[in-house]
């Protein structure tokens, strides 16, 4: 898995699903049974284990969201780490509950971990992977459209952000260069380069007359010129460091 749905709401739903499944598993399968563990005790065991599963998964939901916001990407390594943290917290929490006066379990931690947690994880993990993978499909699609408006009411251009190549100054106008069906197009609107820069922070100034979309930067043609998608632009010394950082 190389993506993550960071939505707390969606992962809370996963936590509910996992907790319900663990309750049913513990109540009907009874993975461990010893002493005088009657129906009342098994109800307590099932409820306790399911509630702890909900709490532990909810905790990692907030943790993974913070990690994702910091690194802005996800990887198999992060996925394994999150599942590992879940099982560590869940193992400790369920063992403390198991040994509490409510259950009065007789297993030590090693036996509890091997006979209960490991066995349960073999069944829980595939379900966790499945629902977490499905959660990625619930991510709402990003709206890539941007609207560039000029001083006149008719000065308007709506395009995809990814299609915008650059914007250049042209006296009292700016000329917008963009792709349409992979063909280079341009449009003049009455505005200033400064206004455009203020409204679209993702653009980078490379010259007093040019702003570029860094996604379309290709290479340096020479020390003062860069190649963009289907066009070239000069780079002034004052802005050269910005381009070198791309």
CA 200, CA 184: separation in Å to the nearest integer?
A: 21
User: Is residue 140 exposed (0-12), middle (13-18) or buried (19+ Cβ within 10 Å)?
Assistant: exposed
CA 229, CA 29: separation in Å to the nearest integer?
A: 62
Prediction pTM value: 0.61
Q: Is 144 helix (H, G, I), strand (E, B) or coil?
A: coil
Residue 35: pLDDT above 90? no
Q: Where are the domains of the chain?
A: 8-136, 145-244
* CATH code for the part of the protein at 145-244: 2.40.50.1020
pLDDT in tens, 72-121: 789 999 999 999 999 999 999 999 999 999 988 889 999 999 988 998 89
Provide the percentage of residues in the chain whose pLDDT is more than 90: 76
CA 172, CA 195: separation in Å to the nearest integer?
A: 12
User: Is residue 153 exposed (0-12), middle (13-18) or buried (19+ Cβ within 10 Å)?
Assistant: exposed
CA 51, CA 15: separation in Å to the nearest integer?
A: 9
Half-sphere CA count of 174, side-chain side, radius 13 A: 26
């Amino acid at each position: 898995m190389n993506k993550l749905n960071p939505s707390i709401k969606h992962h809370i739903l996963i936590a509910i699903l996992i907790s319900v499944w663990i309750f049913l598993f513990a109540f009907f399968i009874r993975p461990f049974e010893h002493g005088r563990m009657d129906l009342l005790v098994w109800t307590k065991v099932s409820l306790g284990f399911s509630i702890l599963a909900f709490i532990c998964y909810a905790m990692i939901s907030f943790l993974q969201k913070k990690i994702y916001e910091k690194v802005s990407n996800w990887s198999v390594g992060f996925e394994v780490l999150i599942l590992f943290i879940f099982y560590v917290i869940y193992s400790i929490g369920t063992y403390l509950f198991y040994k509490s006066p409510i259950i009065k379990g007789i297993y030590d931690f090693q036996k509890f971990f091997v006979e209960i947690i490991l066995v349960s994880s073999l069944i829980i993990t595939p379900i966790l992977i499945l629902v977490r993978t499905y959660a990625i499909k619930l991510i709402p699609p990003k709206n890539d459209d941007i609207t560039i408006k000029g001083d006149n009411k008719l000065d308007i251009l709506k395009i995809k952000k990814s299609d915008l190549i650059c914007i250049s100054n042209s006296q009292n106008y700016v000329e917008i260069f963009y792709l349409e069906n992979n063909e280079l197009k341009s449009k003049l609107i009455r505005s200033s380069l400064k206004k455009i820069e203020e409204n679209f922070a993702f653009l980078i100034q490379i010259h007093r007359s040019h702003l570029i979309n860094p996604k379309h930067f290709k290479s340096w043609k020479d020390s003062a010129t860069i190649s963009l998608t289907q066009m070239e632009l000069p780079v002034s010394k004052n802005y050269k460091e910005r381009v070198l950082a791309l």
